[in-house]
Amino acid sequence: MDKDWTKDLEHDEYEFNIDLIIKDALQAVEETKKGHYVNLVTAETFGNPVDYIQPLLEELYSDQVKIKFIDQCGCGGYVLRVWKS
C-alpha cells in the first residue's frame, strides 16, 4: 500500500485463529510501502499484540519498522501501528 491504512484482523475467521492473525499481520506490513504505516487491529481474544506480534516484527524487520501501541478499541480489539522506514 502506498498510503497509510488499516488491516482488520479482529472479526470472523480471525477471532479464534492467532496463526491467521500473525500471518496476515506480517503480510500487511510487507505490503506497506516505506514512509507509510499500517494499523493492525487485532482480536481481543489473544490480548495485546505487543506481546505476540511486536517481537516477530522486531526480529524480522529490526530497524526497518517503528512500532507503537495505539489503544484498545471500545469493542475490545487492539490497535498496533507499524511504520515502514
Q: Which domain holds residue 76?
A: 5-84
For residues 25 and 40, the answer to whether their CB atoms sit within 8 Å is yes
The pTM for the full model equals: 0.93
**Where residue 53 sits, what CATH number does that domain have?**
3.30.110.40
Tell me the per-residue pLDDT of 36-74, one tens digit each, with 9 for 90 and over: 999 999 999 999 999 999 999 999 998 899 999 999 887
Tell me the per-residue pLDDT of 6-32, one tens digit each, with 9 for 90 and over: 999 998 999 999 999 999 999 999 999
pLDDT of residue 29: 97
C-alpha cell at 24: 496476515
Number of domains in the chain: 1
* 35: confidence class by pLDDT, cuts 50, 70, 90: very high
pLDDT of residue 76: 83
Nearest CA to 40 out of 68, 17, 64, 12 is that of 68
Q: What is the CA radius of gyration of the chain?
A: 12
What is the distance between the alpha carbons of residues 12 and 63, in angstroms, rounded to a whole number? 33
